[in-house]
């Protein structure tokens, strides 16, 4: 039972943590760059694999398949890397702008901003005098007050500025690595048929493997993640092959 006595006994006013469930590892806080690498590789595989398979069936010889493949890998990596970089930069700016606005509003319209804190706590059942005093405690420190509004009214978490460039570079690099896997056989073999066979085997194994790892990194059941990656890759390749054959005629 959390009671006022134990609250007062601790230096910062929070009682010691009662025991909880034995397994506490509920959220994967795996290294964020590893996550970017795994997800980027898994995602970067599909389109180059499908393109190469489609061109094998439809029209082209290996050198052209390789040219088209590396062009798509390069374009996809640049689009993905720059996209990630620009998006996280604008997230950071958006956060800063909204924060400045909340801070200004807490000065210009303090009653309104207090009411907004009250409305949030009220939604979860806090009422009356307790609600009033809880709001006053939060509003007593402007930084905590604005923190509360950012997190619970606007649902914005402070972005990590150091992740921007690293995350973009990891995503772009992983796209290159993933995209080259299905193209390698076309670089090594002269004839299209064996290159296609080896490419399908390589891409299939890589889709299963990276799908597995991606699922682990995002908290999905790994086997299902592996099969979903493979299924998506096969569906994309079949669609690409059908459309290219249709247009190629």
Is the Cβ of residue 20 or residue 31 nearer to a second copy in the bound state?
Answer: 20
- For residue 205, CA distances in Å to 50, 126, 193, 211, 234 come to 15, 54, 19, 10, 12
Span interacting with a second copy, options 102-110, 161-169, 191-199, 200-208, rule CB under 8 A? 102-110
Assess 111 for contact with a second copy (CB under 8 A).
yes
Alpha helices per DSSP H over the chain: 4-9, 32-58, 62-108, 110-123, 128-139, 142-148, 163-188, 192-218, 222-248
- Alpha carbon 41 to chain centroid, angstroms: 13
Q: Which of residues 189-228 bind a second copy (CB under 8 A)?
A: 218-220, 228
State yes or no: residue 230 binds a second copy (CB under 8 A): no
Cα–Cα nearest to 195, from 71, 72, 41, 60: 60
54-80 as b/e, with b when 16 or more CB fall inside 10 Å? bbbbbebebeebbebbbebbeebbeeb
**Contact (CB, 8 A) for 38 and 173:** no
Q: Does 103 bind a second copy (CB under 8 A)?
A: no
Q: Does 133 bind a second copy (CB under 8 A)?
A: yes
Measured CA to CA in angstroms, residue 194 lies from 69, 184, 191, 200 at distances of 17, 12, 6, 10
Minimal distance, residue 31 CB to a second copy, in Å: 19
Residues 2-41 that bind a second copy (CB under 8 A): 2-4, 7-8, 12-15, 17-21, 26-27
* CA–CA separation, 36 and 187 (whole Å): 27
Which member of 135, 177, 213, 230 binds a second copy (CB under 8 A)? 135
Query: Phi first, then psi: what are they for 164, rounded to 5°?
Result: -50, -65
Q: Considering the complex, what minimum distance in angstroms separates the CB of residue 43 from a second copy?
A: 8
Asked if 20 contacts 205 with a C-beta cutoff of 8 angstroms, the reply is no
Q: Which stretch binds a second copy (CB under 8 A): 116-124, 161-169, 188-196, 197-205?
A: 116-124
74 lies in the binding site for a second copy (CB under 8 A) = yes
Among 28-36, 45-53, 163-171, 192-200, which window interacts with a second copy (CB under 8 A)? 45-53
- Of 33, 95, 99, 121, the one binding a second copy by CB under 8 A: 121
Judged by CB under 8 A, which stretch of 30-38, 151-159, 163-171, 195-203 contacts a second copy? Answer: 151-159
């Amino acid at each position: 039972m959390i009671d006022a006595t134990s609250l007062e006994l601790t230096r910062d006013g929070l009682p010691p943590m009662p025991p909880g469930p034995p397994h506490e590892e509920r959220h994967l806080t795996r290294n964020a760059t590893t996550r970017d690498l795994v997800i980027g590789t898994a995602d970067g595989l599909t389109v180059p694999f499908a393109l190469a398979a489609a061109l094998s069936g439809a029209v082209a010889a290996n050198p052209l398949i390789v040219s088209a493949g590396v062009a798509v890998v390069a374009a996809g990596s640049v689009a993905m890397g720059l996209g990630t970089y620009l998006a996280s930069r604008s997230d950071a700016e958006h956060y800063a702008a909204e924060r400045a606005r909340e801070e200004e509003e807490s000065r210009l319209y303090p009653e309104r901003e207090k009411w907004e804190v009250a409305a949030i706590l009220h939604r979860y059942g806090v009422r009356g005098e307790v609600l009033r005093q809880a709001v006053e405690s939060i509003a007593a420190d402007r930084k905590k007050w604005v923190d509360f509004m950012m997190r619970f009214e606007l649902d914005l978490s402070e972005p990590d500025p150091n992740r921007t460039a690293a995350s973009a570079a990891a995503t772009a690099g992983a796209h290159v690595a993933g995209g080259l896997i299905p193209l390698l056989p076309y670089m090594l073999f002269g004839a299209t048929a064996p290159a296609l066979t080896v490419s399908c085997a390589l891409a299939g194994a890589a889709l299963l493997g990276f799908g597995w790892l991606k699922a682990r990194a995002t908290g999905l059941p790994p086997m299902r993640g592996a099969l979903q990656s493979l299924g998506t890759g096969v569906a994309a390749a079949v669609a690409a092959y059908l459309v290219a054959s249709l247009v190629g005629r």
